[in-house]
Structures are given as structure tokens and as C-alpha cells.
Amino acid sequence: MKPPTRDVVRSFDGAELAVHRLGEGEPLLLLHGLFSDAQTNWIRFGHAARLAAAGRAVFMPDLRAHGRSGKPHDAAAYPPDVLARDVAAMVRHYGWDRFDLAGFSLGARTAARCVINGLLPRRLALVGMGLEGLTGWDRRAAFFLDAIDRFENVRQGDPAFMAVSFMKTMKVDRLAARLLLQSVADAEPAQLAAALTMPVLVLCGNDDRDNGSPERLAALLPDARLQFIPGTHMSSVARPEMGEELARFFG
């Protein structure tokens, strides 16, 4: 299979978004997690290749403030729901009227906000996500904001050590990341139940409760299926089962 190609898409405010593409067929949009990028979540461990082999055209943006996409340092570049607005701009750019959508962690939260705001994917996968991760973001964001603020002083044994280590590995732009974290909006359970009516796969590591209860999330949605794969929040992304379950759902 050919390696991924990369497009540059201008968002609603002119910010440049890098979109990695692989495969041919109906479009499937994959959104990565916080401090990560398309390469780390979707390409490195073969998930994108698995989905492309199943006959999908896989589109994988680096979200704003991540990867090869723009990382503006102006607070005005991070209005509420900015990531959902970026995704809507991508859908308009490519002119899709039929597409599927999946996201891991922050990507799952963004995908849910996209649907609440009016995007209508045929099918939706929320990966590494529980109900509390969608309805109680303020507490989760506070943890990461604290990790950014104490970045140089966090040592092994600190609850923020793993987050800081990952930020260092990914060479995260901390100013842009801090602004982005403050732009993410919560959802009410009633909003989720009313908006996410398409078939939904709630896919989670069996030892992953970083974003709350996947069981409660699946029970809330009218047409959701819950599936577990091996791993924690971080390790499940490296498991082949993730790509296999996504290919089974979207294939």
C-alpha cells in the first residue's frame, strides 16, 4: 500500500490544518487524542492501513495546536468548540455528503461536539471515552492545565508525570495547547442522547477509565454498541484490536 499523502486545508479562520490521507473509497474521518497526532494514533500502529485495506478513504487531520497543523499563540484563535469548527471546515472543503467519523479521547470528545453542532456522519465511533469525559471536561482540563503550568517541576511519582512525559516526547507547543484546552466545551447527557442517534461504537480498553464509564455512555445513546479491547487508555492505541474493531464497524 502507498504511504499516506498530506493535504493542507484552511479552516474557518484561515488556520492551516494538515490532513493525512490513505486509501480509496467512502471517506472515514479519524480524530486523534490530546497532545498526539495522526501519525501516533492512527498510522504508526497500522490502524489507518487496516481501514484502508477494508475499502475506506481514511482522512486523519492533525488537530489545531498539534502535529503539522497551525499552532497560533493568539487567544482569539481558540473560540469555544474550535476543534469542532475545524472539522466542519474540513467536511466543507472536501464536499462530503456521506462520511463516517471516529475519534480517540480528545478526538472522541471533538466528534461528539461535531454532531451536537450539526454534522451528520452515518456512523460514529467514540474510542477511549466514557460519559464523564464528555459531560465533565472542566475537571479533566484542569489536570492537564496544571501539568502544563508545572511542566519543568514534575518528577516521577507525580500524578502528572505521564502527561508531561508524553508532552515532551511529542514536543508539544505548551502555549498553544493551553489555549486549546480552554476552548473545549462540555455536553449535557440530554444533548448527547438527542444528537448522537446514528449507530455508535463505544470502543475502550478494558482497563481504561481515564474518561469515565464507557458502559454509562453506551447505555445513554439510543443506538450504541459497547466493545472492549485489551489495554489502558495509552496502551490500547497500540493494540491491533483497535484497528480490527474499527474496520469491523466501518467496513
Summarised one tens digit per residue, pLDDT across range 124-167 is 999 999 999 999 988 889 999 999 999 999 999 999 999 999 99
The three cell numbers of residue 109 are: 470528545
Checking if the pLDDT of 2 tops 90, the result is no
**Across residues 9-20, what is the average pLDDT?**
98
Does 13 have pLDDT greater than 90?
yes
Ordered domains of the chain (ranges, CATH)? 5-139+185-250 (3.40.50.1820)
pLDDT, residue 196, reads: 98
Is the pTM above the cut of 0.75?
Answer: yes
- What are the pLDDT digits (tens) for 53-81? 999 999 999 999 999 999 999 999 999 99
How many angstroms separate the CA atoms of 129 and 131, rounded? 7
pLDDT tens-digit series, residues 94-132: 999 999 999 999 999 999 999 999 999 999 999 999 999
pLDDT digits (tens, 9 = 90+) for 165-186: 999 999 999 999 999 999 988 8
Residue type, 91: V
What pLDDT, in 10s, does the model give residues 192-237?
A: 999 999 999 999 999 999 999 999 999 999 999 999 999 999 999 9
Give pLDDT, residue 1. 74
pLDDT value of position 139: 85
| DSSP strand pairing (100-104 vs 16-22) | unpaired
Model confidence at 251, in pLDDT bands (50, 70, 90)?
confident
Q: Is 128 left (phi over 0), alpha (psi -120 to 50) or beta?
A: left
Contact 30, 60 (CB under 8 A): yes
pLDDT value, residue 185: 84
Average pLDDT over residues 22-29: 97
Residue at grid coordinates 516521577? 156
pLDDT of residue 138: 84
The pairing of beta strand 56-61 with beta strand 16-22: antiparallel
